Every structure is written in structure tokens, then in C-alpha cells.
Amino acid sequence: MKRLSVIVPCYNEEENVRDFYDELCRNEDFFREKQLGLEILYVDDGSRDQTVSEVKKLHAQDGRVRLISFSRNFGKEAAIYAGLQKCRGDFVVLMDADLQDPPSLLPEMYSYIEQGYDSVATRRVTRKGEPVIRSFFARMFYKLMNRISRTEIVDGARDYRLMTRQVVDAILAMTEYNRFTKGIFGWVGYETKWLEYENVERRKGETKWSFWKLFLYSLEGIIAFSTVPLTIASVAGVFFCVVAFVIIIVTVVRKLMFGDPTSGWPSLVCIIMMVSGVQLFCLGIVGQYLSKTYMEVKRRPIYLVREEIGGQELEG
Ligand code: UDP
Ligand code: MG
């Protein structure tokens, strides 16, 4: 019997934990037909509400439910990493707790794995129900990202993915601290089948992503998967040297031919302001990479577990 692990990162999802379980169990016939043993791994990312006790209730009811609870909020990327590390399935699927990743797609996804794909990913083709500005910036981000990074990052890709053990192990081999999962999926490669579906709105509760959080997250993605911004600094340096050289020649020639060196200091002030602005900007870019490197070399753990329930019988 093959085993399927479902990994569900949860942060303050008390209202959704049970709904998710019920919805997933609608596929029970499919699991039986394919002889798939199920393991449902809720990763509680330091929730402050009743998420943990909700999961414990489910565990008491159904031994296939497991819980890993973090000591604080480490972010979804850390929750995904923990889930992948702790799960024992031959196939692994990542799903949001808010039912934005419909479990009803599972049979179709699994059929592609049977056909020999290593990984089945999903992307939403619409962004219905999302603020217009957010969609706009999201599109811009993907365009920019794909231009400056060699790793392919698909617009609208969700973290909803079914993978074989081989792919999971590849992802686990990437032990970096700054985990930009969308980039990591693209980086490992493998035969990936893309399924498309219409955006589904969150069932209950609020999204955990503010615009500002998303903005910082996108910067993180760029820094983690591209070094093009560093090149910008060098290019800007060369550009300003060339401009300076031309101005020197113009000034000398003008002095020799017309006896007029240059007039006034406003132009000088403007030049100094602009060039120092560019310098600070480039220094900032270098600083971003340096700070990421700093966090990376500290080799801090990606997450800390406070409590773990279920799954002991799977060890070994
Ligand atoms: N999540 C998490 N840790 C966080 C933020 C979110 O584990 O710090 C989980 C959350 O519980 C949900 C999933 O990640 O299951 C997606 O979060 P959300 O629905 O808020 O994001 P959106 O769908 O709006 O992008
Ligand atoms: Mg959501």
C-alpha cells in the first residue's frame, strides 16, 4: 500500500481545520480505490487561536491526523519545510487550510503522477476576488522575476502541489534559510504537469498577507533567485564614469575655445545629489545581499517544534 501525505500549514485557522478535513475526506472512495494510505499533517505555525486544540480533537477522532506545532510563527515557508521533513508518504501534497486549494482536484492530479509525471502543480488563471492593485503588482513581479532570474517562476502558481518522494527529497536537500518556495520548486525541475483552475476565495477567516508583507516577500524572492540587482550597481558605476568623462572634455574644450569654464554652483549641487543618491541605492542593493548572507551563515534552525502528535507508528 502506498502512502499519501497531505501537508497543511495553518496559522490561526481554527475555523478551517475541520472544514478542510471534511472536504478532504470526500475523496475517501478515491483513496480506497487507489489503495492510498492517508496521512494528514497539520503544521501549526504558532497560531494564537484554537487551531492546535481543533487539530487535537481531529486526531482523537482519526489517527491519520498528525500535528506539528511550532514554538512561534515562523512563516509558511518554514511550515512547508517542516511538513516535508516529517511526512512519510510516497506521494506528498501541499494544501492551504483555507480551502483555496480544492481537494476535489486530487484524483486528477494523481492520475498524472500515474502517467509518469514527477510533480503536478496548479496555477490559478484568474485572480477573482483580489484587490486590483495587488493583482497588478503581482503580475509585474512575475514579469520582472522571469526576466532577471534563470529559475522559472510561473505567474499565478500556487503552492498546491502533488509530488513524488524523489522531488520531496530534492527539495529537502535545499537547506537554505531564506526559503522562497516558488523558486525552489522551479529550481529543482523534474517533469511537472500544470493544472489550471479559477481562483477560489478563502472559505473563512482573513488572509495573512498584507500588501506590505507581499512586497517584502517579493524582494526576498528576487534576492534569493537572482543576482541581477548586483549587476545594476556595476552598470550604474560604468555609466556615470562615462558621463563624467564626457563632461570633463566638454568643460576643457569650452574653457580653451571660449574662456568660460562653467557657471554657477546649482548644476554642481544637482550632480552631487544625484550621484550620491545612486551610490546609496547601489550600496543598499549590496546590503540586501549581505544581510541575506549573514542570516544564511548563522545556520539557525528553520523552525522549532513545541509539540508533535501522531505519526510514531510510521517511524522506521
Ligand atoms: N500560513 C502559515 N503561516 C503564516 C501565514 C500563513 O502557515 O505565517 C498558512 C495559512 O494558514 C494558510 C496558508 O498559509 O493555510 C495560506 O495563507 P493565506 O490564505 O493567508 O494566504 P493567501 O491564500 O491569501 O495567499
Ligand atoms: Mg488563502
CA 79 – ligand 2 centroid, Å:
15
Ligand 1 near 157 CB (within 6 A): no
Strand blocks (E) in the chain: 2-10, 36-44, 65-70, 91-94, 119-124, 157-164, 192-197, 305-309
The closest residue, in CA terms, to atom 8 on ligand 1 is 75
Residue written as cell 551563515? 297
For the stretch 88-127, pLDDT in tens is: 889 999 999 888 888 888 999 999 999 999 999 998 877 7
Pocket flag, ligand 1, residue 75 (CB < 6 Å):
yes
Note every long-range contact of 111-117, with CB atoms under 8 Å and residues 24 or more positions apart, other chains counting. Answer: 112/193, 112/195, 113/162, 113/164, 116/191, 117/191, 117/192, 117/193
The answer, yes or no, to whether any atom of ligand 1 lies below 6 A from the CB of 77, is no
Residue 18, phi then psi, degrees to nearest 5: -75, -40
Do 164 and 113 touch, CB atoms closer than 8 A?
A: yes
Mutual angle of helices 132-148 and 211-225, in 10-degree steps: 10
Distance CA 64, CA 22 (A): 13
C-alpha cell at 204: 473563512
Residues 6+ apart with CB under 8 A from 301: none
Radius of gyration of the chain (CA): 25
Residues contacting 23, CB < 8 A, separation 6+: 99, 102, 103, 104
Q: Give the model's pLDDT for residue 256.
A: 84
Residue 206 alpha carbon, nearest atom of ligand 1:
20
Query: How many helices and strands in the chain, by DSSP H and E?
Result: 11, 8
Q: Which parts of the chain sit beneath pLDDT 50?
A: 316
- Which residues are close to ligand 2, an ion, with C-beta < 5 A? 96, 98, 100, 202
Residue 261 is predicted with a pLDDT of: 60
Q: How does pLDDT run across 207-243, given as a tens digit for each residue?
A: 777 888 888 888 888 888 888 888 888 888 888 888 8
Place of cell 522549532: 304
Is the distance from the beta carbon of residue 76 to the nearest atom of ligand 1 less than 6 Å? yes
Residue whose grid cell is 556595476: 234
Which amino acid residue places its CA nearest to atom 22 of ligand 1? 207
